[in-house]
């Protein structure tokens, strides 16, 4: 148990791209950093103080993760970052609904129900008037439709998550708690595709966590800075 008073950030779905960059950025800014993923990452994790293994396709594990983090740090996270997602391609390219139901359920559990559970834990632990920030790693699919058979579950999840996040921000902003859906774009406003910027996310997320600017719940950003498209 720690008596350290530095704020805690937890990153769900932390991997070698966005997750590790966010962890390093927050650690350098004075945060205690917890990461969560299905397996323990290999090699060093710069800036990570605690790692919890959890199967995020089972949203019931989320509450236990928060308990473990509280025991580790003697504090609840002030910042929650959800980066976990999963895409199940359609086996029949002429039928976007050919994804097996169990795969649909898994993808939505990871990208919708899991962050729903994490947001619930956050709201239960935050105190009115004290800062709390929830950041969901999204993409342009919350605003744009790509009728490709392989994107159906991912796009469905992003749309649902966007509604959840924006509704939460409307509900809790007055208490000092912010919820953001983060949609990275190219400087021209196009989708990032398969190459999201790790450092760009890290810079934007720390800026959101510091809360020095009244930004919208749905954040579009490019090269680490808020940009309205």
Q: Which residues are catalytic?
A: 158
Q: Are 135 and 180 in contact (CB under 8 A)?
A: yes
Q: Are 29 and 8 in contact (CB under 8 A)?
A: no
Instruction: Please state, as a whole number, how many other Cβ atoms lie within 10 Å of the Cβ of residue 100.
Output: 11
Alpha-carbon span 114 to 108, nearest angstrom? 8
Question: Which tokens go with 201?
Answer: 């996310």
Alpha-carbon span 74 to 76, nearest angstrom? 7
Give the contacts of 72 (CB within 8 A, at least 6 positions apart): 1, 2, 34, 49, 50
Sign of CA dihedral 208, 214, 216, 221: negative
Alpha-carbon span 142 to 109, nearest angstrom? 17
Going from the C-alpha of 102 to that of each of 60, 107, 197, the distances in angstroms are 17, 9, 31
């Amino acid at each position: 148990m720690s008596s350290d008073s530095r704020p805690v950030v937890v990153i769900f779905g932390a991997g070698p791209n966005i997750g590790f960059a966010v962890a390093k950025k927050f650690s350098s800014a004075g945060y205690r950093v917890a990461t969560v993923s299905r397996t323990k990452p290999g090699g060093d994790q710069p800036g990570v103080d605690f790692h919890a293994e959890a199967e995020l396709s089972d949203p019931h594990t989320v509450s236990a993760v928060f308990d473990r983090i509280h025991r580790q740090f003697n504090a609840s996270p002030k910042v929650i970052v959800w980066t976990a997602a999963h895409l199940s391609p359609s086996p029949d390219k002429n039928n976007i609904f050919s994804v097996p139901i169990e795969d649909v359920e898994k993808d939505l559990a990871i990208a919708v129900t899991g962050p729903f559970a994490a947001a619930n834990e956050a709201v239960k632990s935050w105190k009115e008037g004290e800062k709390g920030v929830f950041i969901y790693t999204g993409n342009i699919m919350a605003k744009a439709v790509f009728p490709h058979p392989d994107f159906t579950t991912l796009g469905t999840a992003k749309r649902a998550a966007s509604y959840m996040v924006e509704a939460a921000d409307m509900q809790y902003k007055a208490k000092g708690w912010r919820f953001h859906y983060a949609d990275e774009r190219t400087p021209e406003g196009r989708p990032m595709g398969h190459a999201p910027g790790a450092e760009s996310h890290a810079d934007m997320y720390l800026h959101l966590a510091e809360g020095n600017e009244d930004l919208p719940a749905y954040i579009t950003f490019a090269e680490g800075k808020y940009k309205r498209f």
